[in-house]
Amino acid sequence: MGPECQQTRDLLDAYLGDELLVETAHQLHRHLNYCAACRDELDRRRRTALLFRELGTERAPATLRARIIEALEQASVSTSREASGTRRAWWPQRWVKHLRAMLEDVIGSVHIRRAVLALLVGVLVLWIVWAPREHTISAAELLTRAEAVDAALYRDAAVTRTFDVEEWDVAGRLIGRHRVEVARQGALVARRLRDRSGRVTGGAWSTGDGHSQIYRLGASGPLPPVTREDRPSLRSLVEVPWHIDASPSAFVALVRLDLTRVTESTGSYLVEYRAPWLTSAVAAHPVVERATLTLDRPSLRVIRQTVTVREGDVVRELRYLERAFSRVGPDDLPQATFEPDAGLMPAPRAALEATRPRVPVRAVADEGEGLGREVEVLRRLDAVGALFGEQISVERSPDGRVTVDGVVDDAARKAQLQSALSSLAADGRVRIRIETGAERVQQRSDPSPNETTFRQVEVETNRFAAADLVQRHLQTEKDMVAWPEIQRFADGLLTGSRQALVRSWALERLTTRFPPERLRSLNPDAHATWLTLVVGHARAIQYEASILRLTVGPLVAAPHGAGDASAWEEAESQTPEEFAGALVGAASATDEAIREAFAASAIPVTPADLQIAREEFWTNLRRLEVLAARVAGR
Amino acid sequence: MPSNGPSALDAFLREALVHLDEIFRVACRLMPDRASAEDVTQETFLRAWAAFQRFEQGTNCRAWLFRILFHVRAEECRRLKRAEAVVGTDALATCDPPSPGVVIRADLERALAALPDDFRTVITLADIEGLTYREIAEALDIPMGTVMSRLSRARRLVRRHLAGEPQAGNQTVYRLRS
C-alpha cells in the first residue's frame, strides 16, 4: 500500500462522517477514482458502519420502563412534599429579611450585624428546644395505658388494620413504600404486603410459637423466621420494616422510656424519643436515633409512628401511618387469612435457589464437605472447558474422597487439566488420574474388543446446503461475495450452535449430578459456586441462541416469536433436571438443523427443504433461548 | 425552570424518558450484565429527575442524560472496585489493516466486547447511537479532540479485531448480552 493509499485510509472514516473539508474531499475523490483497493475499503467501512447502526435497535424492556416510571412517581410525591415545605418556609424567610433590614438601619458594620443576627437566631432555637411545657402525664404512664388499650382491642375479637409503611432517607426522599394489611386473631397473625395494584407481594404468617415466617413474591419459599411477634428486634426493624406494628408495645421495645417526652396537642399525644448524644455516632450496630408515637387523645389508639434508624452512615426514617382499622367477632375472619397465599410459592429458578442451605447442620457436615469438594473439582474442570465433550468422570466415594478419571487427546491437554486440579490434590482427598489416549492403550495388553474406531469421512465438496442463501444475503447490488467470506459466515454459525450444545451438556451434567436433595447438603459457598456455573452456562446458551436467531433469521424470513408462551409455561412446571434435559433436547435439535444447512455435506438438500426454513426450527430455537433465560434468571 | 410536581413529571417523561432505549443500550455495553445495566439505567433517570429543576429547557437532554449515566456508572465501578477504564498500550499502535469483506453482527459484537472500556464507550455513542462529537464530549466531559482521537483508535481496533488479529488492547472481557 502506497503512502497515498495510507493517507486516504486515514481519512475514510472522516469522509464517511461527512467531516472533511471540500478540498480534502476532492483530493480523496481523485484518489478513489483510480484506486480500486481504497474504493473497496471505503465500501466495506460503509457496510460496517451500517451494521453498527443496526446494533442500536434493541429496546429497553417494558418492565424496566414501568419500574422507572413508578420510581419517578414515588420520587415526585416526595419532592412535591419538599416543595410545599419550601412554601411553608416562606414566612420565616420574610421575617429574617425584615429583621436584617431593621438591623441594617441601626448597625452599620456588616460583621456586627451578622453576629447579632446569629445571636438572635441562636436564642430563638434554644427557646424552642428548651421552652418549658406542661406535662400532665408521663411517657411511661401514657404508654402503659396505651398498651392496655391496644391489648383490649384484640381481646375476644379479630382485628384487621392497614398501614402504610414508608422509608425515607436522610435527605427527605421517599425510598420505599409498603402497604401492609395485618390480621390478628388470638395468637394468629397474618401480614400481607401489597403493591400499588393491590397484589400481594409478600407477607409474614405466624407459626404459632410466637415467631413468624416471611414469604416474598419471587423468592424461593419462606425465608427464615425472623422475629418474635410481641417484641420486635432492631435487626428485624432494619431488614423487614413492615414486619413491625405501629403499637405502644413495639415502640416500648425499641426505645428507652427514660429518654422519652410527651407533648400534648388538642387532638393527640406525641411521645418522642431521642437517643443520647453520640450514642448513634459510635455504634457499630443499628441504633434507633429518634422515634415518635402519635396517640389519638381520647381513645389512646396509635395513629402514627416514626422510627429513625442509623446503621453506620446510613440513616433511614420509617413512618407507619394507619389507613384502616376494623374489628369483627373472634371467629369471623376466614381461616385462609392466616395461611400464606399460593402466589408466594416458589417458581423453577426459585426452586434451584430454594435448595440453598439455611442452617448449617453438623450431622451432615462430612457429606457436605465431600460434596463441596466435588463442586470445586467441577468448577475447575469447567474453567478449562473439560466439563463437556471429553471422557472425564468425577466420582465421589462415601467417605468424601473425589476421583477424577479421564482420557484426553494429548500431553498438553493432560498437563493443563493436571495444573487446574493440582492444588486440590495436595491434601490427598482428591485423586487425579488423567492419561492421554496413547498412555491408556499402552497400559492395556490387549485392546478392548469394544474400542470405537473412527473412520475419516471424505467430503468431496465444501459446498453446504444453504450456501446460496448466504451468498444472496451477503452480496450487495454491485459486488459478488468471495467464497471464503461465505465459508466464514457458515463457520461462525456452526461454532455458535456447537457452543450452545456443549454448554447445555455441561448444564445437564451439573444439574443431574446435584439434584435438589444433594444441593441442600452443600455449604453456602459451594452452593454459590454451583449456581454460578449453572447460570454462566445458561447465559452463554442464551447468548449463542440469540445470535443464531439474529443471524439465520434474515436468510429465511423467520417467523417471529413462535413458541414464546408455551416455552414459558413449560418452564414454570419443570424440575431442574427436566429443565436441563429440555435444554439439551432443544440445543441438539438446533445444532442438527444448523449443521444440515451450514456444514459441508455430500447429500444435497434444496434450500426450501432445510430445517432452518421450517417453523419447527424457529419454535425450537426460541424455546432454547427462553429456557436458558429462565435458568439464567432473566 | 420546571418545578418537580406532577406537571413537571409529565414534562420529564416527555423530554427525558424518550431516551430510555438509548441509555439502556449504552448501559448494556458498559455494565457486566443486564441486571446491573437496568439498575444504572433506573438510577440515571432518578437522578436526572432529582436534578431536572436545574436542567435548562432547550439544551441537549440526551447528552445530559448520558453524562449522568457515566457518573452513575463510575460510582458503580468504584463501588465494585472494578477498573473503570483500561487503555491497553498496544491499543495505541498505528497498524490499520484493511476491513474484512463480510462482517456479521456476531463478529461486531465480539469485537466491541473486546475493546477497552474507554474505546467501547466512544464507539458505542458515536457509531451505534449516532451522537455528535459535541454531544459525546459533553456526555463524557472530555475535550472534542480527545473524542475524535479516541474514536479513530477505537474504529482501528475494531478493524484489527475483525481482521482476526491477536487481541487488541490488554483487556479481554467476554461480554454476554441477551
B47 touching A, CB under 8 A? no
pLDDT at A518: 77
Q: Is the pLDDT of residue B67 over 60?
A: yes
Q: Is the pLDDT of residue A449 over 50?
A: no
Share of chain A above pLDDT 70, in %: 75
Which residue of A9, A55, A58 to mutate against B (max B Cβ within 10 Å)? A55
B25 touching A, CB under 8 A? yes
What is the residue whose three cell numbers read 439502556?
B24
Of residues A602 and A432, which shows the higher confidence score?
A: A432
What is the residue whose three cell numbers read 450585624?
A113
A81 touching B, CB under 8 A? no
Of residues A592 and A578, which shows the higher confidence score?
A: A592
Taking all residues of chain A, what is their mean pLDDT, rounded to a whole number? 75
- 3-class secondary structure, B154: helix
Share of chain A above pLDDT 90, in %: 0
A302 backbone dihedrals φ, ψ, rounded to 5°: -75, 130
B12 touching A, CB under 8 A? yes
Residues of A in contact with B108 (CB under 8 A): 48, 51-52, 55
E-strand ranges in A284-341 read 287-296, 302-311, 314-328
A553 touching B, CB under 8 A? no
Q: Is the pLDDT of residue B72 over 70?
A: yes
Chains A, B: CB pairs < 8 Å: 141
pLDDT at A267: 77
Distance of residue A265 Cα from the nearest chain B Cα, in angstroms: 32
Q: Which of A41-55, A214-228, A605-619, B86-100 has the lowest mean pLDDT?
A: B86-100
Which residue of A6, A42, A45, A48 to mutate against B (max B Cβ within 10 Å)? A48
Find all residues with CB under 8 Å of A412, minimum gap 6, and list them. Answer: none
Instruction: Determine whether the interchain pair A481/B178 forms a contact, defined as Cβ–Cβ distance below 8 Å.
Output: no
The whole-number average pLDDT for the span B115-130 is 91
Query: Which among B38, B49, B177 has CB closest to A72?
Result: B49
A491 touching B, CB under 8 A? no
Q: How confident is the model at residue A374 (pLDDT cuts 50, 70, 90)?
A: confident
The whole-number average pLDDT for the span B52-64 is 83
Chain A residues 159-178 within an 8 A CB cutoff of chain B: 173
Find all residues with CB under 8 Å of A109, minimum gap 6, and list them. Answer: none
Find all residues with CB under 8 Å of A211, minimum gap 6, and list them. Answer: A225, A226, A227, A228, A229
Buried b (16+ CB within 10 A) or exposed e, A375-407: bbbbbbbbeeebbbeeebebebeeebebebebb
Which three three-digit cell numbers place residue A445?
495388553
Q: Which pTM was predicted?
A: 0.36
User: What do you get for the CA distance between the two ends of chain B, in Å?
Assistant: 40
Q: What share of chain B is helix, strand, coil (3-state, %, to 5)?
A: 65, 0, 35
Chain B residues 87-116 within an 8 A CB cutoff of chain A: 96, 98-109, 112
pLDDT at A560: 54
| Alpha-helical segments (H) within A21-138 | 22-34, 36-55, 62-88, 90-106, 110-130
Cβ pair A473, B105 in contact under 8 A: no
DSSP notation for A596-621: HHHSB-SS---GGGSGGGSHHHHHHH
pLDDT, tens digit, for every residue of A533-544? Answer: 887 788 888 878
Question: Checking DSSP bridges between strand A158-169 and strand A430-436, what pairing results, if any?
Answer: unpaired
Q: Is the pLDDT of residue A370 over 80?
A: no
Distance of residue B86 Cα from the nearest chain A Cα, in angstroms: 23
Chain A residues 595-624 within an 8 A CB cutoff of chain B: none
Distance of residue A190 Cα from the nearest chain B Cα, in angstroms: 32
Distance of residue A361 Cα from the nearest chain B Cα, in angstroms: 33
A496 touching B, CB under 8 A? yes
Strand partners, A294: A270, A304
Query: Which among A48, A59, A496 has CB closest to B106?
Result: A496
Buried b (16+ CB within 10 A) or exposed e, A588-597: bbbbebbbbb
Residues of A in contact with B47 (CB under 8 A): none
Strand partners, A309: A288, A316
Cα–Cα distances in angstroms (integers) from residue A299 to residues A163, A323, B148, B167, in the given order? 18, 17, 72, 76
Q: Of the candidates A504, A488, A520, which has an alpha carbon nearest to the alpha carbon of residue A579?
A: A504
Q: Is the pLDDT of residue A553 over 70?
A: yes
Q: Is the pLDDT of residue A452 over 50?
A: no
pLDDT at A454: 42
B164 touching A, CB under 8 A? no
Quick one: closest CA in A to B129, which residue?
A: A56
A102 touching B, CB under 8 A? no
Instruction: Determine whether the interchain pair B5/A51 forms a contact, defined as Cβ–Cβ distance below 8 Å.
Output: no
B74 backbone dihedrals φ, ψ, rounded to 5°: -65, -40
Q: Which of A36-40, A42-46, A391-395 has the lowest mean pLDDT?
A: A391-395
pLDDT, tens digit, for every residue of B2-49? Answer: 455 567 888 888 888 989 999 999 999 888 888 889 999 999 999 999
Q: Of the candidates B24, B156, B150, which has an alpha carbon nearest to the alpha carbon of residue B98?
A: B156
pLDDT, tens digit, for every residue of A120-171? Answer: 888 888 887 776 555 567 888 888 888 888 888 777 888 888 888 888 887 7
Instruction: Determine whether the interchain pair B127/A79 forms a contact, defined as Cβ–Cβ distance below 8 Å.
Output: no
A84 touching B, CB under 8 A? no
B127 touching A, CB under 8 A? yes
Instruction: Determine whether the interchain pair A47/B103 forms a contact, defined as Cβ–Cβ distance below 8 Å.
Output: yes
Instruction: Determine whether the interchain pair A71/B42 forms a contact, defined as Cβ–Cβ distance below 8 Å.
Output: yes
Q: Of the candidates A149, A155, A174, A161, which has an alpha carbon nearest to the alpha carbon of residue A82?
A: A174
Instruction: Determine whether the interchain pair A76/B178 forms a contact, defined as Cβ–Cβ distance below 8 Å.
Output: no
Q: Is the pLDDT of residue A209 over 80?
A: no
pLDDT at A364: 40
The whole-number average pLDDT for the span B128-143 is 90
Q: Is the pLDDT of residue A396 over 50?
A: yes
Complex ipTM value: 0.81
pLDDT, tens digit, for every residue of A474-529? Answer: 776 556 677 777 887 888 888 888 888 888 888 888 887 777 777 777 777 778 77
pLDDT, tens digit, for every residue of A314-350? Answer: 788 888 888 788 888 877 787 778 877 777 665 444 4
B176 touching A, CB under 8 A? yes
pLDDT at A437: 75
Q: How many helices and strands, by DSSP H and E, does chain A display?
A: 21, 13
Taking all residues of chain B, what is their mean pLDDT, rounded to a whole number? 79
A51 touching B, CB under 8 A? yes
DSSP notation for B4-59: SSHHHHHHHHHHTGGGHHHHHHHHHHHSSSHHHHHHHHHHHHHHHHHTGGGSPTTS
Please work out, in degrees rounded to the nearest 5, the angle formed at the alpha carbon of residue B167 by the alpha carbons of B161 and B172: 110
Of residues A147 and A441, which shows the higher confidence score?
A: A147
